Structure 1
Amino acid sequence: MTSPVAPPPAAERPLPAIAAQFVCFTLVSIADSILKIIVAEAPSWQIMAMRSASSLLILTPIILVQMARGRATLRTGRLKAHILRAALSAVSVFAYFEALRELDLPVATAILFVTPFFVVMLSGLVLREHVGLNRWIAVAIGFVGALVIIRPGPEGVSLAALLAVLSAATWGAAMVAIRALGKTEGTLSILFYFNLFICLIALAFALPGWQPVPGWLIATILLNAAIQLVAQSFMLMAFRFASASVSAPVQYTQLLWSVAAGWFVFNVFPGPQVFAGAAIIVASGLYLIWSERRPRRPS
């Protein structure tokens, strides 16, 4: 799971941005496939703590080299914003891990596609920003697509599906709460504080019930952390090349990778309702992007 935090540049370079996003979401799909295996072996809070600690282990030598060159890479005046982002993200990541225990990977991925719609909705309701009719239409259609995937029946909605929706909602809230963070913070600073506070939060919940883990699981979590870090770096790169809406449609390729991984790795192929719901969500997302980028008529 990743989130755009860097501001759009003055001069856009769409092709490098699209290429960077393609690499990003390919890596995210690989990391999620590995996560599907990991979550069956240990409690979610423990996995989060170990993965964040692994990320810090990877980042530390890079940061030390930067500091040796006289760059204050960790200097920040926005510590509260970093903590808020980490707290919201911790809830999101925990909910996603728990959802992955029960949901097939393509289903979980498709439900997470509603995250941008939570961003739009929260921007209007919480920040009191103007949200045009076109945005609310996209939000409504996107949630219809999510309902098609979740398929609520007489017995209600499964807990795993609700957790996936909670993950999307809290991830969207984190993006709304700290979306301006990238205007003042560098890439290493963002990655470091994110993983530091996630690690501390996860440890608080994981330590009372900490379980011993085999060496192969530690190595797998370290690999997952490394892939996630590289994916986040490519996303930050993409948003420095061009604004979010330029490369946002590339995110939908993640569903193709998730279907392929589910089929070849877990021997599971999603039902037609998953593709139908995903198609509705993708269509509403593309409509939102198109409506935001089309030229406005002068008043």
Structure 2
Amino acid sequence: MPDNRQTGPLMAPAAQPPAVPPPHARPRADRQGAAILMICASSFIFAAQDGVSRYLGAAYSPIFVIMLRYWFFALFVILLCARSSGGLGRAIRSRRPGLQIFRGVLLVAEVVVTIEAFVRLGLINTHAIFACYPLIISALSGPVLGEKVGWRRWAAVAVGFAGILIVLRPGSGVFSANATLPLLGAAMFALYGLLTRLAGRDDTAMVSFFWTGISGAVAITAVGIWHWEPIAGRDIPWLLMLCLTAVAGHFLLIKAYELAEASALQPFSYTQLVWISIFGVTIFGEHLAPNVAIGGVIVVGAGMFTWWRSRQRERAG
């Protein structure tokens, strides 16, 4: 359930907009509409990928499954960067290579933790807790990026974590140590997002994308090669689907953020929770408990509020 967002280059506004759009240019509303469809489609694909990961992670070592997935992903990254402006040579050149390598290793470690959570807790419970990562980003944006976090955002963080407590129900006898896995995964993914923004001050999105795929593949191979095991013939199609959904999801994500601003598309990424709930109940026989539903709504609502505050600050600035 990895996050690599980019927007088109900034251009100065024309002195007088043309009365008729250029022949091959899309109107802004059409571009944003297409981007919304792409972000919703990528959310569906990532939800399907999580379902396949849950299935394979229960049958094989999650580290082994992720290694194979990253090999395919690294090939996709190389091909995409080779076709981009400047080719591979430009994508490799980073001003912050140490930071980029750490980001890639952190992301692949987060994927391992999250898939383990899928296996132990199920898709619905894991995502209900994992949805708090935007709140962790808000809380850490001050110490990591030096941004000012106002009391409204801190209040949203507090409300969001109250929702997490409703999901976890500590002290009820239901809470277990396994429930900390998605929270750890959310914290790792939030830190990855913050470091991506930090790296973006010096490197382009394509450079960050390249280092994410390659450093992650190298790191997981160094560990996963020792977990190699034979793959049953019936699981090969599922493994291929896992690799293809990873590529298709990221491709749609990249295209969506080429057409519209990330801040305009962020709310639609929450549609993944809807698909996760449907897959969890209908395919894996999971139960959507009332406390999980209520807590999840609170977490998502708090995340939406932090997104709205960010939009307000951007407009004011």
Q: TM-score range by the shorter chain?
A: 0.7 to 0.9
Give the letter aligned to residue 71 of structure 2. Answer: A
**Residue 168 (structure 1) shift:** 0.4
**Residue 225 (structure 1) shift:** 2.0
- Alignment partner, residue 247 of structure 1: 265
Equivalent positions of 1:1-299 (< 5 A) are: 1-7=1-7, 10=10, 14-60=32-78, 66=83, 71-72=87-88, 74-77=91-94, 78-153=96-171, 157-181=175-199, 184-187=203-206, 189-294=207-312
Contact 1:21 1:234 in 2 (8 A): yes
TM-score (norm 2): 0.83
Contact 1:76 1:185 in 2 (8 A): no
TM-score (norm 1): 0.87
Structure-2 separation of matches of 1:57 and 1:6:
20
Structure-1 separation of matches of 2:196 and 2:314:
28
Check 1:4–1:99 CA distance in 2 against 1; reply closer, same or farther (3 A cut): same
Contact 1:5 1:179 in 2 (8 A): no
Contact 1:123 1:129 in 2 (8 A): yes
**Residue 140 (structure 1) shift:** 0.9
Give the letter aligned to residue 148 of structure 2. Answer: H
**Residue 8 (structure 1) shift:** 6.9
- Alignment partner, residue 14 of structure 2: none
**Residue 29 (structure 1) shift:** 0.7
Structure-1 separation of matches of 2:104 and 2:197:
13
Residue-by-residue CA offset, 1:43-81 (whole Å, 9 max, x unaligned): 1211111110122344555556x38x9734633224323
**Residue 261 (structure 1) shift:** 0.6
Check 1:291–1:40 CA distance in 2 against 1; reply closer, same or farther (3 A cut): same
Paired residue secondary structure (2:270): helix
Report sequence identity in percent: 26
Paired residue secondary structure (1:267): coil
Q: How many residue pairs align between the two structures?
A: 296
Structure-2 separation of matches of 1:255 and 1:235:
17
Check 1:287–1:85 CA distance in 2 against 1; reply closer, same or farther (3 A cut): same
Aligned-residue Cα RMSD (Å) equals 2.8
Check 1:155–1:269 CA distance in 2 against 1; reply closer, same or farther (3 A cut): closer
Name structure 2 gaps, 5 residues minimum. Answer: 12-27
Contact 2:114 2:182 in 1 (8 A): yes
Residue-by-residue CA offset, 1:124-156 (whole Å, 9 max, x unaligned): 133332111111111111111111112212558
Structure-1 separation of matches of 2:155 and 2:253:
27
Structure-2 separation of matches of 1:16 and 1:180:
29
